[in-house]
Amino acid sequence: MSDLRIVIWRHGQTDWNIQSRFQGHSDIPLNKVGEYQANHSAKTLAGMNPNRIISSDLIRAQQTAAPLIELTKLNLEIDAKLRETNGGNWEGKTERENQDRKSTRLNSSHT
């Protein structure tokens, strides 16, 4: 019996990462740096001889997995349960914008 090894690989960079925007369930694609990161990392991960590749249904995760799929010739399995946390109204906003909004709500509730 072989030992089970699970490798968790986070998606490559998106423009929202650079802008410090909360992504959550928002379907944001990789930027050029993220594509480079995915291609570069795929070579190392392919050397680990995976026998399954599972991704969330978000485009950034699938784009990150694509170079590994190409190298290994494995099928990509999609599982929506692997999505990032749903950020609700926080999604698309920066940390600062979310903090400001929270402060505004707290201050208005005390007037």
Catalytic residue among 25, 40, 77, 84: 84
The 8-class DSSP code of residue 47 comes to T
Is 11 catalytic? The answer is yes
**Are the beta carbons of 64 and 30 closer than 8 angstroms?**
yes
Which residues have a Cβ under 8 Å from the Cβ of 109 and sit 6 or more positions away?
Answer: none
Helices (H) and strands (E) in the chain, counts: 4, 2
Options 11, 25, 35, 77, the catalytic residue: 11
CA 25 vs. chain centroid, Å, equals: 9
Q: Is 23 exposed, middle or buried (0-12, 13-18, 19+ CB in 10 A)?
A: buried
Q: So which residues are the catalytic ones? A: 11, 84
